[in-house]
Amino acid sequence: DFTESSNYSEYDLVYQRMEWSVDPAIKYIAGSVTSYFKSLVEELNEIEFDLNSEMIVDSVKQKDARLDYTHSNNKLLISLENALTKDKVDSVQVYYKGEPDKKNEEIFSVTYHSGVPVLWTLSEPYGAMEWWPCKQSLIDKIDSIDVIVTCPDAYKTASNGILVSDVVESGLRKMHWKHRYPIVTYLVAIAVTNYADYSDTLRFDDGRTMPILNYVYPEYLAKAKIESPNTAKVMKIF
């Protein structure tokens, strides 16, 4: 029953950086989402995102300036400090927190495997707004994203793209995933637990290779290593 806002046509998402803190034992998320966007109209003075009204918005900033906003009926409407002319690019940063929608456990799920907590998201097609402020559009893909997740150091975060850093400090693990291809909002995802990880290798006919990084439950590791090379065969076809 979700309808995309007519205001979506006023701007184009260029880039988003998600910085989240989670614990797979607790159904809760806190952090910020920075969105770079290009104006598609002659005078853009506000920008609209989708976000469940039960989530708590702490503040919205444009560079160092705090912005006025309203958050109701699952819409976050932000007043820009200065109106943007057509093709001008700018950014806003939304700080927020809360417990994602309890009515649909499959969108932001906290459960267990072999007694170990696991958190995972599944937003297709219109579930992203339940756990992060987004332009929930099937038309305007995000050009590129960075996903940076902090969790207790016993766990690892799997997400979109390529893992560029994995830092453990003071009992916490921060993992940074970089994705540099257009991506629709509902495909942005995280999964957090005590993953075992290993790589298979996709070998192209021209000699190039590409690693396929697998994150699996430790109790399935032996079986996964037998079966996951089939993924490389499928990827080679694509």
Residues 204-225, mean pLDDT to the nearest whole number: 95
Q: Over the stretch 108-150, which tens digit does the pLDDT of each residue have?
A: 999 999 999 999 999 999 999 999 999 999 999 999 999 999 9
Q: Cα 101 vs. chain centroid, distance in angstroms?
A: 16
Least confident of 70-79, 100-109, 228-237: 100-109
Q: What is the reported pLDDT for 1?
A: 79
Q: Report yes or no: 159 and 123 within 8 Å, Cβ to Cβ.
A: no
* Percent of the chain topping pLDDT 70: 100
Inform me whether the pLDDT recorded for 84 exceeds 80.
yes
Amino acid (one-letter) located at 106: E
User: What is the CB neighbour count within 10 angstroms for residue 178?
Assistant: 16
Amino acid (one-letter) located at 48: E
What is the pTM for the complete model shown? Answer: 0.95
Q: Over the stretch 54-78, which tens digit does the pLDDT of each residue have?
A: 999 999 999 989 999 999 999 999 9
**Total residue count of the chain as it appears in this document:** 238
Beta strands at 191-193 and 172-179: parallel, antiparallel or unpaired: unpaired
The two structure tokens encoding residue 92: 């806003």
Question: Who's near 90: CB < 8 A, 6+ residues apart?
Answer: 36, 37, 39, 62, 80, 84
Mapped onto helix, strand or coil, the DSSP state of residue 10 is: helix
Beta bridge partners of 165: 176
Give the Cα-Cα-Cα angle 104, 110, 111 (nearest 5 degrees): 110
**229: preceding bond cis by omega (within 30 degrees):** no
